[in-house]
Structures are given as structure tokens and as C-alpha cells.
Structure 1
């Protein structure tokens, strides 16, 4: 049964302005530790690709927060929600701490899709209830 659906589109140019204004602190606020390591590697070699990576993670987390009907309030935080990937490249949502506990207690599972082009990143999330809480 579908619990919630969320979508988000993010202007990469807006992310660039935030990054220029706040530097790496901006990335540290948005990204979980695993994402931050990936971002640093990409950003060092290809700054534009690093910005698109940051934008897709921002967008996916916004879409997830909408799908769970919570927005950005506890236990939903930027760093407790991580966008990882399977060996196949498929993106997955990995939750941590209080957000994971909240999500698991409700018997939920999430599916995420992310995409980006030069100026935009977009994400779509479907959250399902797989068990009765």
C-alpha cells in the first residue's frame, strides 16, 4: 500500500550559489558521511559534477521528506537520510538513527529515482507500507 509520494526539482545554479556563499559547510549540512566522501572525490576532479551530485542528493532528500509527509522536521534531517547506490547503480535510501527507527516502526520501505541535467536535478520517491506497524 502506498504511504506517500514525493517529487522535487532543484536548480543546480541555486546549489552553486549556496555552495559559493557557504563553501564546504553547505555540503556538510546536506550530506551524510558516505555521501560527503563521494562528493569530495567528485568535486576535486570535476567541480560541475560535484555540484550536480550535491543537487541530486538535496532533491532526493526533499522528495523523501514529502513522501513521508514530514518535511524537514525531526526526526527527518538532511544527514539522517542518505542516498546510496546498489552495485548496479540503482539509487537507494539509507536511513540512520532516529529517522530509521521512526521509519521501521511504521513498516515502511522507500523507492527513489534521481536524474540530473546541466541546470536541474530531479527526484521521485514512493514510500510503501509493507507491514502493519
Structure 2
């Protein structure tokens, strides 16, 4: 059963400005440790690719927070919701800490998709709830 749906569109230019203004501090606030490592590696090879990576992660976390219906309040935090990629490249949500426990206690599982094009990054999240047997 569908528990919630969330979508978000992010202006990549705003993310670029935040990086220019706050540097790594902004990325540390939004990204998990694993995401931060990927961001640093991508930014070193091609800075624009790093900006787009951060924008898609920001957007996906916003969409997830909308889909679970709590916005950015505990147990939802930027760093407790990680957007990773499976070996196939498919994006997936990895939860940590209290947010992971909160979702597991409700039988929730998330599906996510992300995209970016020129000035925008967009994400869509569907949260499913396991149905209890009769």
C-alpha cells in the first residue's frame, strides 16, 4: 500500500551559490559521510558534476521528507537519509539511526528516482507500507 508520495525540484544555481558561500560546510550539513566522499571525488574531477550530485541529493531528501509526511523534523535529518546507488546505478535510499528505526517500526520502504538537467535537479519518492496479514 502506498503510504506517501513526495517530489521536489531544486535550482542547481542555488546549490552552486551555497557551495560558493559556505564551501564544504554546506555539503557536510546535507550529505552523509559516504555521500560527502562521493561529492568530494566528483567535485575534484569535474566541479559542475559535484554541484549536480549535491543538488540531486538535496532534492531527493526533500522529496523523502515530504513522502513520509514529517518535513525536516526529527527523526528526519539531512544526514540520516542517504541517497546511494546500487551497482546497476539505480538510486536507493539508505536510512540511519532514529529515522531508520522509525520507518522500520511502521513497515515503510522507499523508492526514489533523481534527475538533473541544466539548471534543475528533480526527485520523486514513493513510500510503501507493508500490509499486515489478515
SS in 1 for 2:10: strand
1:45 is matched with 45
Q: Distance in 1 between matches of 2:119 and 2:9?
A: 10
| Structure 1: distance between partners of 2:95 and 2:131 | 18
Q: Give the superposition deviation at 1:3.
A: 0.2
**Structure 1: which 5+ residue stretches go unaligned?**
none
Match of 1:12 in 2: 12
Deviations 1:6-28 (A, max 9, x none): 00000000001111111100000
TM-fit CA distance, 1:131:
4.0
SS at match of 1:114: strand
Counterparts of 2:98 and 2:79, CA distance in 1: 11
CA distance, structure 2, for counterparts of residue 131 and residue 73 of structure 1: 26
User: Equivalent residue for 1:123?
Assistant: 123
Q: Residues 31 and 78 of structure 1 are in contact (CA less than 8 Å); yes or no, is this contact kept in structure 2?
A: yes
What residue number does 1:88 align with? 88
CA contact (8 A) 1:112 1:124 kept: yes
Unpaired segments ≥5 residues, structure 2? none
Aligned equivalents of 1:117, 1:41: Cα separation in 2: 21
- Number of residue pairs matched? 132
Q: Distance in 1 between matches of 2:111 and 2:130?
A: 12
CA contact (8 A) 1:93 1:110 kept: yes
Structure 1 vs Structure 2 CA RMSD = 0.6
Q: Is 2:104 the partner of 1:104?
A: yes
Q: Which SS does the other structure have where 2:16 is aligned?
A: helix
Separation in 1, partners of 2:30, 2:45: 20
Aligned to 1:21: 21
Q: What is the match of residue 36 of structure 1?
A: 36
List structure 1 runs of 4+ shifted beyond 4 angstroms: none
- Residue 63, structure 1, aligned to residue 56, structure 2: no
